[in-house]
Amino acid sequence: MRWLSFFILAYVMLGLQIGLGSSMQIHQAQPNLLLLVAVFIAINAPRNTALAACLLLGLLQDLLMPGKPLGLATFSYGVIGMLVINTQEVVYGDHFLTHFSLALLAGLVVAVIYGLHGAIYPLIHRSLKIWQRPPMGAMMGGALYTAVLAPIVIFILQRMRRAFGFRSSRGYTSR
Amino acid sequence: MRFSPMLLMFIAVALFSALVMPPDLANAIRKVDLLFAPVAGPVHKLVESVDDHWSSNSTGRPVDDRTVKQLVNENEALKIRLATLTAQYEEIRQQLGEVGPIPADIRSLCRFISVMGTIPGRQMLTLEGSSIQGLQPQMAVLSPDGLVGRLDAVGLAVARVQLLTDLHMHVQVGFGRYPANKNDFVRLGDVPCVASGDGSGRLVVNDYKVTDLKANDLRTGDWVVLDDGDWPPLLQGYKIGLIEEVKDGTTPLVVNLIVRPKGDLMKLHDVMVLMKNQ
């Protein structure tokens, strides 16, 4: 994979995410554009490259989530990466339903991990006076919102796939 | 097929960090959102202009058969009516104890700056201001409706405001009221207490003594004002919000005061930064 292309994509998507801010918000649910990049990479790149890219995306997301301990998004994106990468050989990566379902799965996994973390973290840090549990309704809504956008965003990214120079794990050049 | 052990170890470290690292330590590391200003800024402007265009076009435009002269006359009449209504509005606002226009001495020290966006998950705004313009961390940020927050970080292209309603924001406050039929603002009590942002658009004064509540005769609708030595002297007594609710506290001897700023701070389009901290 061409890492320069990956970093440019991650930069643009994060910039879009910040710039769009609450403009794209519907009832507190916000789409997660970076998650779509993670799904796109996980569908196309070789296993270890895809997982490394997902972890980097998670780390970037972590750096932009004030109020949350560092590592939460990295872990979540790692889990998503492993899940989606394992589906590479059983799903048709160009179909919009694949994009929708994988993005929905990824969003729900993130919501569940954040929810569990929100419940466990204050038990570990009992001295913590202020701790806001993640709003699960908004996160689930965000997962659905992200999934709805997935066919459009990933379709565009799939058309740009050549710029990333993906090679599959099995050694041949991706379509 | 298996994944690289190094990557799996990285995931394990991330999980460990997520469970163990205190949020304050993590916040000290996070100063990177300013790097994304070259993309975030233009996108935000574009969204705003599209939004404005959309909202101006969304209402149907009826066919208008008035002549130019009629329109000019109507325009003049409307101008006069607007001026009258504005004057009446300001008078009523002051009678009701709402925030009046910003005093000229404060306004002259402020720089008007546009809001670029919000920070997901926090009560924070990004501004189209920079250190080149003289902005510095800890400078106070205001709006015509009251105090907004403080500059948290300032970069070369963008600055970040931590709103009063942010979860990690604490500020000392006092109380006040406009008695009925009087324009003079009366301070209630002289001992400041700490108000903390609740992360969802309000502030909370936790564990306020019931005896003080009764002694100061505090009730919903009273004003909460700044009374904090860490903020510029010029802003002491500046309005923050109204007491929205008095809730039971952790014991019968204390209550929690819920304070709501005038308007949604996360939806501000422009703010003013007080350029002098002293």
CATH number of the domain residue A118 falls in: 1.10.1760
Tokens 């965003």 sit at which residue? A153
Rounded to whole angstroms, how far apart are CA atoms A55 and B56?
Answer: 43
Cβ-based neighbour number of residue B275 at 10 Å = 15
Instruction: Give pLDDT tens digits for B33-46.
Output: 667 777 777 887 78
Give SS3 for A117.
helix
Residues of chain B with C-beta less than 8 angstroms from the C-beta of A124: 19-20
How many CA atoms, within 13 angstroms, populate the side-chain half-sphere of residue A156? 9
The yes-or-no verdict on residue A53 having pLDDT over 60 is yes
Nearest Cα of chain A lies from the Cα of B82 at a distance, in angstroms, of 31
Cβ-based neighbour number of residue B68 at 10 Å = 7
Rounded to whole angstroms, how far apart are CA atoms A141 and B240?
Answer: 32
Angle B173-B179-B180 from CA coordinates, rounded to 5°: 145
Return residues 100-129 of B near A (CB < 8 Å).
116-122, 124, 126
pLDDT band at B60 (very low <50, low <70, confident <90, very high): low
pLDDT band at A107 (very low <50, low <70, confident <90, very high): very high
The yes-or-no verdict on residue A133 having pLDDT over 80 is no
pLDDT band at B215 (very low <50, low <70, confident <90, very high): confident
The yes-or-no verdict on residue B72 having pLDDT over 60 is yes
Query: Is residue A171 in some structural domain?
Result: no
DSSP state of B4: -
Nearest Cα of chain A lies from the Cα of B1 at a distance, in angstroms, of 9
Across B247-251, B257-261, B265-269, the highest mean pLDDT is recorded for B257-261
Per cent of chain A over pLDDT 70 is 88
Query: Is residue A151 in some structural domain?
Result: yes
Asked if B39 lies within 8 A of A65 by C-beta distance, the reply is no
Give SS3 for B157.
coil
Query: Is residue A174 in some structural domain?
Result: no
Residue B79 CA, chain-centre distance (Å), reads 31
Range(s) of the domain holding residue A14: 3-164
**So what's the pLDDT on residue B127?**
85
Residue B26's nearest CA partner among A70, A55, A118, A71 is A70
pLDDT band at B17 (very low <50, low <70, confident <90, very high): confident
**So what's the pLDDT on residue A153?**
92
Asked if B43 lies within 8 A of A16 by C-beta distance, the reply is yes
Give SS3 for A138.
helix
Rounded to whole angstroms, how far apart are CA atoms A149 and A89?
Answer: 23
pLDDT band at A172 (very low <50, low <70, confident <90, very high): very low
Residue B12 CA, chain-centre distance (Å), reads 39
Give percent helix, percent strand, percent coil of chain B, each to the nearest 5.
Answer: 35, 30, 35
Rounded to whole angstroms, how far apart are CA atoms A113 and B91?
Answer: 53
Axis crossing angle, helix A72-85 with helix A33-44, rounded to the nearest 10: 40
The verdict on A137 touching B (C-beta cutoff 8 Å) is: no
The two structure tokens encoding residue A87: 């589906």
Q: For the whole model, what pTM was predicted?
A: 0.56
- Contact by Cβ (8 Å): B207, B214: no
The yes-or-no verdict on residue A72 having pLDDT over 60 is yes
Residue type, A51: L
Which chain B residue shows the shortest CA-CA distance from A10? B36
Query: Is residue A15 in some structural domain?
Result: yes
Q: Residue A155 belongs to what H/E stretch?
A: helix A136-159
Tell me the C-alpha to C-alpha distance, in Å, between residue A94 and each of A1, B8, B101, B212. 18, 28, 58, 66
Residues of chain A with C-beta less than 8 angstroms from the C-beta of B121: 65-68
The yes-or-no verdict on residue A104 having pLDDT over 90 is yes
Asked if B199 lies within 8 A of A68 by C-beta distance, the reply is no
Give SS3 for B14.
helix
Query: Is residue A175 in some structural domain?
Result: no
Over residues B62-84, the mean pLDDT reads 81
Query: Is residue A170 in some structural domain?
Result: no
Residue B241's nearest CA partner among B276, B197, B184, B208 is B197
Domain count, chain A: 1
Rounded to whole angstroms, how far apart are CA atoms B43 and B191?
Answer: 46
Rounded to whole angstroms, how far apart are CA atoms B113 and B125?
Answer: 11
**So what's the pLDDT on residue B277?**
64
Rounded to whole angstroms, how far apart are CA atoms B218 and B247?
Answer: 13
Which chain A residue shows the shortest CA-CA distance from B162? A66
The two structure tokens encoding residue B132: 């080149």
SS (H, E, C) A25-86: CECCECCCHHHHHHHHHHHHCCHHHHHHHHHHHHHHHHHCCCCCCCCHHHHHHHHHHHHHHC
Rounded to whole angstroms, how far apart are CA atoms B145 and B264?
Answer: 10
Give SS3 for B246.
strand
The two structure tokens encoding residue B25: 């330590």
Rounded to whole angstroms, how far apart are CA atoms A162 and A145?
Answer: 27
B243 strand-pairing partners: B259
**Longest Cα–Cα distance in chain A:** 54
What's the length of chain B? 278
Per cent of chain A over pLDDT 90 is 30
CB pairs under 8 A between A and B: 151
Query: Is residue A111 in some structural domain?
Result: yes
Over residues A52-69, the mean pLDDT reads 83
